Amino acid sequence: MSENSKPVDPSRREFVVKASAATSAAAIAPGVFLTAPASARPADQPVTGDKRWGILVDTNKCADNCNDCVTACETENGWGDSEPNSAPEQRTQWIRTVEIKNKSTGYAKTLPLMCQHCETAPCVDVCPTGASFRRDDGIVLVDKHICIGCRYCMMACPYKARSFIHEDLHDQKPWAPRGKGTVESCTMCVHRVDEGGTPACVEACSAENHNALIFGDLYDENSEISRELQKHDSVELRGDLGLNTGVRYRGI
Partner 1 sequence: MGRILGLFILSLLWLPLPATADDMETLPFSNLSFPEPETHYSATQECVEPEEEMRKNHMNYILHQRDKTVHEGIRTRQHSLEECVNCHTAKDEQGEYIPVNAQDQFCSSCHTYASVSIDCFQCHATKPERSSTLHKVSGGAVHHSDQALTSNTLQIPAAEGKDK
Partner 2 sequence: MKTALIYRETEGKSTGFWVLLGGLGAIMLLALGAVLHMEHSGHHVTGMSNQIVWGMPHVFAIFLIVAASGALNVASIGTVFGKPLYKPLGRLSGLLAIALLLGGLMVLVLDLGHPDRLIVAMTYYNFKSIFAWNIILYNGFLVITVVYLWFMMENKMNKHYPVAGFVAFIWRLILTTGTGSIFGWLVARQAYDAALMAPMFVIMSFAYGLAVFILVLMASYNWTNRPLGDAILYRLKNLLGVFIGAVLYFVFVYHTTNLYATEHHGIERFILLDGGIYTKLFWIGQIILGSLIPLFMLYHPTIGKSRPAIATAAALVIVGGFAQLYVILIGGQAYPLEIFPGYEVTSSFFDGGINSYSPSIWEITLGAGGIAFALLMVTIAVRVLRFLPETLADAAIDPHAAAKAD
- Residue 198's CB is within 10 A of a number of other CB atoms, namely 22
Question: Helix (H, G, I), strand (E, B), or coil: what is residue 163?
Answer: strand
Q: How far apart are CA 83 and CA 79, in angstroms?
A: 8
| 53-58 and 247-250 strand pairing | parallel
Question: Helix (H, G, I), strand (E, B), or coil: what is residue 111?
Answer: strand
Smallest distance from partner 2 to CB 75, Å: 16
Smallest distance from partner 1 to CB 186, Å: 16
166 binds, among partner 1, partner 2, none (CB under 5 to 8 A by kind): partner 2
What's the farthest any 2 CA atoms get from each other in the chain?
Answer: 73
Question: Considering only residues 162-221, where is the footprint of partner 2 by CB under 8 A?
Answer: 162-168, 180-183
By the rule CB under 8 A, 85 interacts with partner 2: yes
157 binds, among partner 2, partner 1, none (CB under 5 to 8 A by kind): partner 2
| 93: amino acid identity, one letter | Q
219 binds, among partner 1, partner 2, none (CB under 5 to 8 A by kind): none
If the CB atoms of residues 17 and 105 are measured against partner 1, the closer one turns out to be: 17
Residues whose CB falls within 8 Å of the CB of residue 57, separated by 6 or more in sequence, listed in order:
111, 112, 212, 213, 247, 248, 249, 250
By the rule CB under 8 A, 92 interacts with partner 2: yes
CA-to-CA dists, residue 199 to 9, 23, 106, angstroms: 36, 23, 33
- Residue 72's CB is within 10 A of a number of other CB atoms, namely 21
16 binds, among partner 2, partner 1, none (CB under 5 to 8 A by kind): partner 1
Count, residues near partner 2 per rule CB under 8 A? 58
**Pick from 49, 128, 149, 181: which binds partner 1 (CB under 8 A)?**
181
83-94 in b/e form (b: 16+ CB < 10 A) is beeeeeeebbbb
135 binds, among partner 1, partner 2, none (CB under 5 to 8 A by kind): partner 1
Task: Choose the binding region for partner 1 from 62-70, 102-110, 153-161, 165-173 (rule: CB under 8 A).
Answer: 165-173
9 binds, among partner 1, partner 2, none (CB under 5 to 8 A by kind): partner 1
By the rule CB under 8 A, 237 interacts with partner 2: yes
User: What residues form DSSP beta bridges with 184?
Assistant: 163
Interface residue list for partner 1 (CB under 8 A): 1, 3, 6, 8-9, 11-12, 15-16, 19-20, 22-23, 26, 32-33, 36, 40-47, 76, 133, 135-137, 141, 143-145, 168-169, 171-175, 177-182, 190-192, 194-198, 200, 203
